[in-house]
Chains A and B, each alone.
Chain A
Amino acid sequence: MPPAPDPALLLRKRPRPLERGIEFLIRSSAFVMVALLALVFVFVGKEALPLLTSPRVWEEVTLPSMVRPQEGGGFSWQPISAKPKYSLLPLLVGTAKVTTVALLIALPLAVGAALFTSEFAPQAAREVIKPAVELLAGIPSVVVGFFSLMVLATWLQDALGTTVRLNAVTAGIGLSLAVIPIVFTVAEDALSAVPQAFRDGSLALGANRWQTAWRVVLPAAFPGVFAACVLGAGRAVGETMIVLMASGNAATVSLDPTESFRSFSATIAAELGEAPHGSPHYHVLFFLGAFLFVITFLLNLAGQRYVRRLRRKLEGEAP
């Protein structure tokens, strides 16, 4: 249906002089939204740039030195020592480790719950699950971090018998609590957007409800469900407080999920307070921030792309 013509244009009522000023402000405010996103990139990038351009910083650290093995073949992150070392590898391994654990837990739970909510749950159950997930989304991440460190870590250590309390399993479970709401919400929206006719057609052909859900609804909503997973991954990579509090913060290169680790986000949070303004360490931490920004930006962009693709697929119209 074409949109109805705008009455303001039809009537050609001219704005009065004062109104022109107000309308200018309103228009600028929309521009500010775009400018802010650009400013985030510019101001984080600006402080990260000396790592690439300043010879003074190069005396202590260069980008290639952050990825190459250090003297003696090690990869360590020790920015505050007589001879500072900045290897990205421990942080990369730590971030990948905790993100993997969190996604392994969060994705099946959130997508499964979304499928149940949209396909099988009676209305009454739906009205419990949705607010509960909203409640979970409303818990500040510092509270989840507190819970992971104080309660969850002890339970897990008793159950698994790990040597260190704070490890990638503890932090990953905590992190999954922050990822579940976003994955659930986006996936559930996608599944509910599948037209009822798809289900009716499938049931009329003799399929039962789970076959319909698995073979018809899920494939139809797939771009949206995939988008949910990508957006969840973006959230997991960037989340700070939970990982900062429950990771143990040991910068080790170990793939073992029961060992302490350190992530990009937690490193920034833990060290920026002590890094003197303008020091090589300071610029390196901003570089990590810029890196984090770019990764999450790309993940979000990809996620939104798939959401639009789903909308196009189901509604058959341009985004």
Chain B
Amino acid sequence: MSRWIRIVGAAFTGLTGAACLAILTMVAVILGDIALHGWPHLSWEFVSTAPSANLAEGGIFPAIFGTVALVLLMTVAVVPLGVAAAVYLHEYAPPGSRFVHVVRLALQNLAGVPSIVFGLFGLGLFVRFTGGGVDRLFFGGALTFGQPCILWAALTLAVLTLPTVVVATEEALRAVPRSYREAAYALGATRWQVVWHVVLPQSVGGMLTGAILAVSRGAGEVAPILFTGAAYYLPHLPSRLNDQFMELGYHVYVLTTQSPDVEATKPVLYSTVFVLLGVTFLLNLAAVLVRSGIRRRLRQT
């Protein structure tokens, strides 16, 4: 009997351990394959020149430029809004209020909306409704903002990454010791003075984490920008808010699925994936480092 139990126990532990090992292997295989094939073709020229020969040769500079411009615009939109919402939830809202519960529920569900639905949403709200409205009001109906462009794609991604920013900022607000607030109140500060002069400066790290995580998520999302502004190939870099743009993730999609000669584009494709992964991982790493600093402080208080 006891021998039987020991055998089942060993099998059980072994199986769960094997599941862990399988996941680790998957991660290693994917990253290894991409690093192995992506590294050789990588060069300064590759990241600094435009594609040529039907995307099979040349570099990916326009895609890198488009991605950076896109996530910068997105950050400008999402960080103030996300931080303000987190400040409300943690500093202003009466604890246990019904409204807070609803806001949290909305945020959790927003985080679970499929990214392709955000694409439809961006097309419907930003491109057609807002853009079309702006065109009718200010441009006499001429097609200016009522078309897919970098502004609408950035705003769509901003909605998608909003929960990330709110959650990260709130965690940082929690890490600010209560005594700091009480000391400020005791000195006669108003609630906003406490938030602005005491709480927010103490939680810059959390806001930074949120922004970095949002950028890393936004840089990798393709489905939301399919119909809101990403372009297959453009001879010019985007210079205005209503220009279309090339993007790294979309470029990977295009190279993978629409290339007439897959073998010829393979080196370019692998290196593009390598760059995309490199960018998102470096951003994630930065966020992890900043966040672990915050958590350490949270434990001390």
A80 part of interface (Cβ distance < 8 Å)? no
- Report Cα–Cα, A115/B18, bound state, in Å: 11
Can you name the residue of chain B whose Cβ is closest to the Cβ of A31? B103
Within 8 A of A (CB), among B187-228: 188-194, 216, 219-223, 226-227
Question: Given A39-B125, A240-B116, A293-B114, is A11 in contact with B185 using a C-beta cutoff of 8 Å?
Answer: yes
A59 part of interface (Cβ distance < 8 Å)? no
Question: Given A15-B191, A113-B23, A140-B222, is A26 in contact with B88 using a C-beta cutoff of 8 Å?
Answer: yes
Q: Are B103 and A240 in contact (CB under 8 A)?
A: no
Question: Given A7-B181, A27-B88, A273-B227, is A14 in contact with B190 using a C-beta cutoff of 8 Å?
Answer: yes
Q: Give the interface SS of chain B, mostly helix, strand, loop or mixed.
A: helix
Question: Given A7-B185, A15-B192, A210-B13, is A273 in contact with B226 using a C-beta cutoff of 8 Å?
Answer: yes
CB distance from B143 to the nearest CB of A (A): 12
CB distance from B138 to the nearest CB of A (A): 21
- Report Cα–Cα, A180/B182, bound state, in Å: 43
Q: How large is the interface on B (under 10, 10 to 19, 20 to 34, 35 or more residues)?
A: 35 or more
- Report Cα–Cα, A112/B12, bound state, in Å: 9
> Given the complex, which residues of A lie within 8 Å of B128, measured CB to CB?
277
Within 8 A of B (CB), among A116-140: 116-117, 119-121, 125, 128-129, 131-136, 138-140
Can you name the residue of chain A whose Cβ is closest to the Cβ of B191? A8
Q: Are A245 and B108 in contact (CB under 8 A)?
A: no
- Report Cα–Cα, A133/B84, bound state, in Å: 31
- Report Cα–Cα, A139/B28, bound state, in Å: 12
Q: Are A43 and B19 in contact (CB under 8 A)?
A: no
> Given the complex, which residues of A lie within 8 Å of B19, measured CB to CB?
108-113, 116
Q: Are A296 and B114 in contact (CB under 8 A)?
A: yes
> Given the complex, which residues of B lie within 8 Å of A300, measured CB to CB?
108-109, 112
* 21 pairs from A and B in contact (CB 8 Å cutoff): A19-B190, A33-B85, A34-B102, A36-B159, A36-B162, A37-B113, A40-B113, A117-B20, A135-B281, A136-B26, A139-B30, A140-B220, A140-B276, A142-B249, A143-B220, A146-B252, A214-B12, A245-B256, A272-B119, A272-B120, A277-B128
By a beta-carbon cutoff of 8 Å, the part of chain A in contact with chain B is 3-4, 6-8, 11, 13-16, 19, 22-23, 25-27, 29-34, 36-37, 39-40, 43-44, 46-47, 108-113, 115-117, 119-121, 125, 128-129, 131-136, 138-147, 149-151, 177, 180, 184, 208-211, 213-214, 231, 234-235, 237-241, 244-245, 265, 268-269, 272-273, 277, 285-286, 289, 292-293, 296-297, 299-301, 303-304
